[in-house]
């Protein structure tokens, strides 16, 4: 049982590191004792929890959601991670011919726990509100959503078992003892120029070559194989409360700047309508920082015009350690923006 206590102001600097270590230890213990449990949220509860994402729980949740909703959800494996874990992709939508699609992924960076939470929230909301919510029903009737719940599964699990702030993949590199590549610097879009490092020990290491990581290669291969149908690409990150679009690897504006900026402005307004959460929007390079090799820039250069990156809550108070009490409001408001973008795409197919 937890008790309330107070500390003198001059001791806060000493106490906070101890508390953070205690909380992390509790989270790791929680993961260890529930490794075989289903990775899911109970939407009937008032509060939601982060849960560790093991190989078994990913398989269980994706299999379960597909089995329970065969008319709306199907599951496939698009590849395996460096450590051999299957990358499950969910296709969400009512069956139909000649449907266009939106691709959405979460969990590029391991420590951004709110990101995989949103992808799961989206799928659950889709299946539970189909036939009840007019916008969602129309979207699923007329579009397919390809949802990759966690891109960087190896790294994500590592944040539960070893290092909560781990960012990269878990691949090994010849000639270096440092582990991992930043998967969002590993795409062939201005690869390893601005905002990326050639040092394997850096948190923004671009990898030895574009798509050197099994995870990024699997994602890119799937999108290339479905370019004729995928009309939007959404990638979910945290934190900073931003809605970004190309480019990040150059300060040059994309040819569709005016339209993308208008969409981002309107989507940010939709998001803010629920809890007054303010988002900044604009091209990645000028809005947050220059970064080459990103998936959104790559997707845009492949011809997917509507390519956006979400940086979810917050703006730094908790950062990557976003409290569980903020899972629900974060997902609720983000869903409004995603639905707006999806509906815009549906009305402006190309």
pLDDT in tens, 171-180: 999 999 999 9
CA distances from 156 to 159, 168, 215, 288, 292 (A): 5, 9, 13, 24, 22
The DSSP 8-state label assigned to residue 315 in this structure reads S
25: pLDDT strictly greater than 80: no
Best CA proximity match to 259, nearest among 153, 339, 348, 136? 348
**Residue written as token pair 């949802």:** 147
* Digit-coded pLDDT (tens) for 201-260: 999 999 999 999 999 999 999 999 999 999 999 999 999 999 999 999 999 999 999 999
Bond preceding residue 43 cis, omega within 30 of 0: no
Q: Are 38 and 60 in contact (CB under 8 A)?
A: yes
Query: Across the beta sheet with 242-245, what order do the strands follow?
Result: 73-80, 86-92, 143-148, 100-106, 230-238, 306-312, 242-245, 280-283
Q: CB within 8 A of 119, min separation 6: which ones?
A: 104, 105, 106, 107, 147, 148, 149, 150, 236
Three-state DSSP class for 221? helix
Structural domains of the chain ordered from first start: 66-166+216-347 (3.40.630.10)
Q: What is the pTM of this model?
A: 0.89
Q: Of these residues, 311, 332, 333, 347, which one is catalytic?
A: 311
Looking only at the bridges linking them, the beta strands covering 143-148 and 280-283 are unpaired
- DSSP letter (8 states) at residue 173: -
Q: Report the pLDDT averaged over residues 279-299.
A: 98
The separation between CA 311 and the C-alpha centre of its own chain, rounded to angstroms, equals 9
Residue 238, token pair as written in the block = 């945290």
278 catalytic per annotation: no
| Interval 34-83: pLDDT, tens | 333 333 443 334 457 786 555 567 788 999 999 999 999 999 999 999 99
């Amino acid at each position: 049982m937890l008790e309330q206590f107070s500390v003198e102001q001059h001791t806060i600097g000493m106490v906070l590191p101890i508390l953070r270590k205690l909380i992390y230890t509790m989270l790791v213990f929680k993961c260890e004792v529930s490794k075989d449990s289903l990775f899911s949220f109970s939407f009937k509860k008032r509060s939601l929890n982060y849960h560790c994402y093991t190989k078994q729980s990913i398989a269980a949740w994706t299999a379960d959601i597909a089995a329970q909703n065969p008319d709306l959800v199907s599951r496939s494996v698009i590849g395996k991670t460096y450590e051999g874990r299957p990358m499950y992709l969910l296709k969400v939508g009512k069956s139909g011919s000649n449907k266009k699609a939106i691709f959405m992924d979460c969990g590029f960076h391991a420590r951004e726990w709110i990101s995989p939470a949103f992808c799961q929230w989206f799928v659950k909301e889709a299946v539970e509100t189909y036939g009840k919510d007019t916008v969602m029903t129309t979207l699923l009737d007329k579009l397919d959503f390809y949802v990759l719940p966690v891109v960087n599964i190896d790294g994500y699990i590592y944040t539960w078992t070893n290092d909560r702030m781990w960012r990269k993949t878990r691949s090994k590199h010849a000639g270096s003892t440092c582990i991992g590549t930043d998967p969002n610097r590993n795409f062939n879009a201005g690869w390893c120029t601005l905002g990326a490092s050639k040092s394997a020990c850096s948190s923004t290491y671009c990898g030895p070559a574009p798509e050197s990581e099994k995870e990024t290669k699997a994602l890119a291969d799937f999108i290339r194989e479905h370019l004729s149908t995928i009309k939007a690409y959404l990638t979910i990150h945290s934190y900073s409360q931003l809605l970004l679009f190309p480019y990040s690897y150059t300060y040059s504006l994309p040819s569709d700047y005016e339209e993308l900026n208008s969409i981002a402005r309107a989507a940010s307004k939709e998001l803010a309508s629920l809890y007054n959460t303010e988002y900044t929007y604009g091209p990645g390079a000028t809005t947050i920082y220059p970064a080459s090799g990103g998936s959104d820039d790559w997707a845009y250069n492949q011809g997917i015009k509507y390519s956006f990156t979400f940086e979810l809550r917050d703006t730094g108070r908790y950062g990557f350690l976003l409290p569980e009490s903020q899972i629900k409001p974060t997902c609720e408001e983000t869903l409004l923006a995603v639905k707006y973008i999806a509906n815009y795409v549906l009305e402006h197919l190309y």
